[in-house]
Structure 1
Amino acid sequence: MTTLIAQGENNALEFKSAQVHPDSLAREMVAFANSQGGIILLGVDDNGEVTGLPADKHYEEWVTNIARENVIPALDVIITCHVHDEKQVLQIDVPKGRDKPYQTRQFQFLIRVGSTNRIATQAELMRLFQQSGMFHYDLQGVEGTSMRDLNLASIDAYFSAYQIDFQKEESQERILMNTDILDAQGRVTVGGLLMFGINPQRQLPNACISFAHFAGMELDDELLDKQVVGGTLNLQVDTALAIIKNHIRQPSRIQGAKTVDQVFQYPEKVFRELLVNACVHRDYAIHGSRIRVFMFDDRIEFISPGRLPNTVSIEKLSLGVSFSRNPVILKFMENLRYIDKLGRGLPMVYRTAVQANKRVEFAEVGEEFRVVLAL
């Protein structure tokens, strides 16, 4: 407890005195639940002085009722009672919420920023709804677009696999709306543009992959190569995969009539899966960031904008879990045989690395998801 108090208030720790109003405590819970979780110490003033809680009130029950009645939807918190310098302090552990976004009874959607709370911006609120699966950004129409922004030859090739002659269809627009390539206003959806657009980066400039190869193990080491891969998502995956294969070291020797690798080489499907996963599950509502692939002497990193959805945790990824932030993109990439919806891809990556005694790490860093694969 002393060590915790010594940290002072920060992005994961808040102090509250016994006189705190229920609505104020609820705001702290909402902000932590909408962010990465945190701890509230009840009975500690803002300056870190332990003032304790009076014995004439059942504070555990009081806090539990606030979490259930003043937070929407209701929140489960963990309450621990401590005695510090003969004074009672309640530690309230607020988890990262599974049912984001949370709001107060005053309809405030709050997030934690540093040691303070603030109302979520429209973009932040949209991401919270995306994480809950209540809103899908890839279904949104892109302003100023229409059928003229689509590669109709590519669409015709796609539908031909289902015995549909798209070019001969009288109501092409209706078909495109029914398959979520166009929205109800005739605009191309984000997913439709990324899968069948003539030049998706014209409207979505950062919906691409940046590749960088460094001569060493740090970002400030010599840059050997840098490329930006654009186009539709299937083209991005194929092109980025070819670039990675071209840069991977492949020392080998001749043994008999065949060439034998001297060091372990990941199968192509590992890199392909990580590229597909990044393209399919990234948060395209984050406009200022790209998918990034960084290659170092000892590892390769795949960095994708956007945190994991509410129901997905880092621990679940290596065991297999299927989730859909972008259902339109997922549908088309699955139909084009780039992915399945069984959640087998990342477990395959994990098993391949572990069996080769290689380190693999899944992590959330800020508003990004990162996979680090040791070479």
Structure 2
Amino acid sequence: MIRLSDEELETLLDDTESDRAERKESFKGDVPKKARQAVCAFANDLPNYNLPGILFIGTKDNGEPSYLDITDQLLRSLADMKTDGNILPLPVLSVEKRTLKGAEMAVVTVMPSDMPPVKYDGRIWIRTGPRRAIANEQDERILNEKRRYKNIPFDIYPIPSAQITDLSRIIFENEYLPAAFAADVLEANNRTYEERLASCKMIVSPDETTPTVLGLLSIGKTPQDFLSGAYVQFLRIDGIELADPVIDEEDIGGTLVEMLRRTEEKLSAHNRTMIDIVSSPTHNKELAYPPAAIQQILYNAALHRTYESTNSPARVYWFNDRIEIISPGGPYGNVTIENFGSSGITDYRNPNIADVLKTFGFIQAFGRGIATARKLMQENGNPDLEFQTTSSAVVCVLKGKS
């Protein structure tokens, strides 16, 4: 992450025609929306500066201070732009309070994305001189081409043995596109099928139509033919040991959406209601586990697991006293064995899969799954989550009520 000096920031403030800077007097009214558009445009870096773009909060259009009070709440609101799920893939940005030209300002530094195009609210925003604009077909082609020369994550690696015919056009056009892009963008779309797939990272490029890992997992007809470990193994065990009798089992494959929905159905079928006739005059119906807590951990397993060089599935083992959800691959990036589960510490092995899960509605915001699950378990009267973390796997244990 690049941190510009005060002199460099003041130079951008003084250059009112810069396409690397956006200035706002406050963070009220429609500014949060425009600020996200600016972050999206800086992340796309259409001019290919390979330098950060800067959003200044607390300065007038001419670069002079507006003397805004830079509070902790304002800084938190700016930081939320990174993880609220409206800008996809997730941008790389930092938020600071800086003293420039003798006044405090909030400075948001946005790094160019390795995975363009980046979207905000279903639209691809770019910088055209000092202004923001929505990308046209040629702009998207340039952004797609930039991606091919970056150090990309595994979830958008090409799978050479797959062909474009292994992707479902029906799912892509009828389910994914309407969820991913604003209606007016789709109506004005003159792009070819291949160009649209490439823009969504489902294939390498319009000219190189090899499907990516993301494409096969999102809209593939038979994803497990190419990614053999990309499924969920479910076991319902009548006991508390793995060697005890198995009363229900299923290997659940298909696309990410199909896999998660079918697994949720299986979990729901086994989450039996308990009747409490003691603690109150009326009968209280309680579930053994809060469904949303199990969902959060399941989604985390699908999102954060490794899909590279493994035949191991994600595993959901339901015992009589607990549920174990096992995700192949240990912690990634900023998340380590030592700080796993700590508040505010997140990283993404599969940032583009995160985009798809958000698009299909499985994730509303990022970095809050474990905290949400913990809160729901507590409210339902269950013990706290337990994690067993190694370099090759993460096991989450949800314990039943005692």
- Range of TM-score over shorter length: 0.5 to 0.7
Assess if the C-alpha contact under 8 Å between 2:293 and 2:377 holds in 1: no
Indicate yes or no: 2:178 matched with 1:160.
yes
Shift, 1:318, TM fit: 4.4
Mapped partners of 2:241, 2:311: distance in 1: 23
Residue identity matched to 1:323:
D
Match of 1:39 in 2: none
1:134-149 correspondence runs (5 A) = 135-149=152-166
Would you say the 8 A contact 1:286–1:305 is kept in 2? Answer: no
> 2:262: which partner in 1?
239
Q: Which position in structure 2 is the counterpart of 1:150?
A: 167
C-alpha distance 168-357 of structure 1, shift in aligned 2 (>3 A): closer
Q: Letter of the aligned partner of 1:236 in structure 2? A: M
* TM-score using structure 2 length: 0.55
Q: 2:333 aligns with which of 310, 328, 332?
A: 310
Q: Secondary structure, in 3 states, of the residue corresponding to 2:327?
A: strand
> Could you state the TM-score of these two structures normalised by the residue count of structure 1?
0.59
Match of 1:333 among 349, 353, 357: 357
Structure 2 match to 1:370 = 395
Q: CA deviation at 1:266?
A: 2.9
Which stretch of structure 1 is more off in the superposition, 203-212 or 245-254? 245-254
Residue equivalent to 2:144: none
1:25-40 correspondence runs (5 A): none
Work out the CA distance in 1 between the residues paired with 2:164 and 2:187. Answer: 13
Instruction: State the distance in 2 between where 1:166 and 1:297 align.
Output: 52
CA drift at 1:204: 1.3
User: Which amino acid in 2 is paired with 1:300?
Assistant: I
What residue ranges of structure 1 are gaps of 5+ in the alignment?
Answer: 1-132
Deviation at 1:327, TM superposition (A): 1.6
**Would you say the 8 A contact 1:200–1:232 is kept in 2?**
yes
User: What one-letter code is carried by the residue in structure 2 that aligns with 1:338?
Assistant: F
Counting only pairs closer than 5 Å after superposition, residues 43-82 of structure 1 correspond to structure 2 as none
Contact 1:303 1:368 in 2 (8 A): yes
Tell me whether 1:175 sits opposite 2:196 in the alignment.
Answer: yes
Describe how 1:2-21 pairs up with structure 2 within 5 A: none
Amino acid at match of 2:373: V
8 Å CA contact 2:271, 2:289 repeated in 1: no
Cα distance in 2 between the residues matched to 1:230 and 1:282: 15
Q: Secondary structure at the match of 1:220?
A: coil
Is the contact between residue 218 and residue 257 of structure 2 (CA under 8 Å) also seen in structure 1?
yes
Give 1:290's aligned amino acid.
Answer: P
Q: Hey, what does 2:373 align to over in structure 1?
A: 349
How many residues are matched? 242
Deviation at 1:342, TM superposition (A): 3.0
The correspondence for 2:384, drawn from 335, 356, 359, is 359
Deviation at 1:296, TM superposition (A): 0.4
Deviations 1:66-111, CA, capped at 9 Å, x for gaps = xxxxxxxxxxxxxxxxxxxxxxxxxxxxxxxxxxxxxxxxxxxxxx
Write the letter of the residue equivalent to 1:159. Answer: L
What CA distance in whole angstroms lies between the structure 2 residues aligned with 1:168 and 1:149?
Answer: 24
Does structure 2 conserve the Cα–Cα contact (< 8 Å) formed by 1:321 and 1:344?
Answer: no
AA matched with 2:178: S
For residues 258 and 188 of structure 1, the distance between their equivalents in structure 2, rounded to whole angstroms, comes to: 57
CA distance in 2, matches of 1:142, 1:368: 24
Q: Does structure 2 retain, via aligned residues, the 8 Å contact 1:150–1:196?
A: yes
Q: Where do 1:92-131 residues align within 5 Å? A: none
In 1: Cα distance, 2:220 partner to 2:188 partner: 17
Alpha-carbon distance change, 321 to 166 in structure 1, aligned in 2, over 3 angstroms: farther
Amino acid at match of 1:246: A
Shift of 1:372: 0.6
Partners of 2:169 and 2:348 lie apart in 1 by 26
- Alignment correspondent of 1:300: 323
Deviation at 1:199, TM superposition (A): 1.2
* 1:345 CA displacement: 0.9
* Structure 2: tracts of 5 or more residues without a match: 1-149
Q: Is the 8 A contact 1:320 1:346 kept in 2?
A: no
Which of 303, 307, 312 aligns to 1:280? It is 303
CA deviation after TM superposition for structure 1 residue 146, in Å = 2.4
Letter of the 1:334 counterpart: K
Name which one, 1 or 2, has greater alpha-carbon Rg. 1
Residue type of the partner of 1:211?
Answer: F
Tell whether the 8 Å contact from 1:156 to 1:167 is kept in structure 2 after alignment: no
Q: Please identify runs of 4+ aligned residues in structure 1 that moved more than 4 A.
A: 164-170, 253-259
- 1:321 is matched with which residue? 345
CA contact (8 A) 1:208 1:230 kept: yes
Q: CA deviation at 1:260?
A: 2.4
Q: Decide whether the 8 Å contact of 1:181 with 1:193 is kept in 2.
A: yes
Which residue identity lines up with residue 348 of structure 2 in the other structure?
S
Which residue number in structure 2 is paired with residue 213 of structure 1?
A: 236
Cα distance in 2 for residues equivalent to 1:240 and 1:298: 19
Mapped partners of 1:246, 1:171: distance in 2: 43
